[in-house]
Amino acid sequence: MKQFIYVLLVLIVFLSCGGEDQPVSIPEPDVPTGELVFVDSIGVEMGDSTYMFGSIEGLSYSSDGSIVLLDRAFSRIMIYSPDGEFQRQISREGDGPGEMSLTVMMVLTGNGDLIVSQRDAMERFDFQTGDWIEEYPRGDTPPPFVLHGMPDSTFVGVHLDIAPEDGRLIAEVILGIYIPGNNEPSVLLVERSFDLNPMNAAFLFEDVLDAYSVAVKDDGTIYVASRSGSDYEVIGFNRNGERVFELVRNDIEPVEMTPEELQEEKEFMEARLASMGAGGQNCSPNPLLPMISDLGIGQDGNLWVRRGTVTFPVFDVYNTSGGLVRTVTMQVHPDEGRYWNISVLHDGILAYSENPSEGYQKVYMLDIR
């Protein structure tokens, strides 16, 4: 049973939530507004393989301005110039030293390391040279799943442990700052435990592997939002795990999915599980959409908070004191809105669709107008 649960959890880390939500009126304070627009893109349907993507699962800028992405389908990291020209590739699919399989997430750390989470291991590369440094295999539990690099050699990650207790399975999820190779956090940020239901893969996904959105400032301040359907809340921590920031809003109402949307979400999740070799699992999604679906830090150091309750991307932008300074939207087809993954970063804004209308994935460079 424990092995089954571990395999199931590893597989559903790749899952991307789908579905739509009902249009809602957004009570906007009197602040400036902006719109995200496409300025360039990378990717082709057919042709040069260095511009063809199988399944983008990580996207970032490096310290030198290069665009870095993890292509899970090909187990490779691709690096492009700021203008979108292919530069080089790191790693490839395989089981040998420096090769990867079943990749999940990647982060760049401030000391120049590239760290990639796999199904049951963690790989570390020197980003500048592309050289493989080492692998951290799992012990009794998988290594932490990487979420965001810190300014030094550490990263923010989430670690799962499962233990039997009085005939139940208890899941303990720890969000913290981790040193590569260690399953215990060097700094604890958030810890929670709950009864694990191995018969509901959606529950495990929503409450474990996609439980937190994280953004990190250059000074090491860590912003965290949980996947809550009722609370719009962001907490900020310093490097020592002390709370230094809190943002709460009560003017945004929770939104439930319709029965049709719940069924679509269920089918989408179960299809993804089947594609990962875990077919036949039941998914019962949470009917409440997450109040916050993502966080980012803009070029001016402001905090970008993406609402999860609307059909198109909407970001609330706050200053370091928690004051709302602007609202930024992106106009896309409502059927595709929640499938857009948008990375707001110090060096710019990048995006890709998890369900592209063109039938193939592209990386988009965005600007604010």
Task: Name the residue type at position 151.
Answer: P
Q: What is the DSSP string of 274-298?
A: HHTT-TT------SBPPSEEEEEE-
Looking at beta carbons, which pairs linking 101-105 to residues 24 or more positions away fall under 8 Å? 101/75, 102/10, 102/75, 103/57, 103/70, 103/72, 103/75, 104/10, 104/13, 104/14, 104/57, 104/72, 104/145, 105/13, 105/57, 105/58, 105/70, 105/145, 105/146, 105/147
pLDDT at 21: 38
pTM over 0.85: yes
pLDDT at 278: 63
Average pLDDT value for residue range 122-132 = 95
Q: Which two tokens stand for residue 193?
A: 């435990």
The predicted-structure confidence for 313-353, as pLDDT tens digits, reads as follows 999 999 999 999 999 999 987 677 778 999 999 999 999 99
Is pLDDT of 12 > 60?
Answer: no
The domains located in the chain, with CATH, are 2-23+54-291 (2.120.10)
Is pLDDT of 163 > 50?
Answer: yes
Cβ neighbours, 10 Å, residue 221: 18
Q: How many whole angstroms separate alpha carbon 326 and alpha carbon 32?
A: 5
pLDDT at 277: 52
CB 67 within 8 A of CB 88: no
Residue 83 Cα distances to 41, 66, 139, 268, angstroms: 9, 9, 42, 34
Mean pLDDT of the chain: 87
Closest to 58 (Cα-Cα) out of 143, 134, 147, 136? 147
CB 117 within 8 A of CB 145: yes
The predicted-structure confidence for 71-91, as pLDDT tens digits, reads as follows 988 999 999 999 999 999 999
Query: What pLDDT band is residue 257 in, cutting at 50, 70 and 90?
Result: confident
Is pLDDT of 49 > 80?
Answer: yes
Average pLDDT value for residue range 287-308 = 95
pLDDT at 276: 55
Q: What is the DSSP string of 209-246?
A: ITSEEEEE-TT--EEEEE--SS-EEEEEE-TTS-EEEE
Which residues in 128-137 are b (16+ Cβ under 10 Å) and which e? Answer: eeeebeebbe
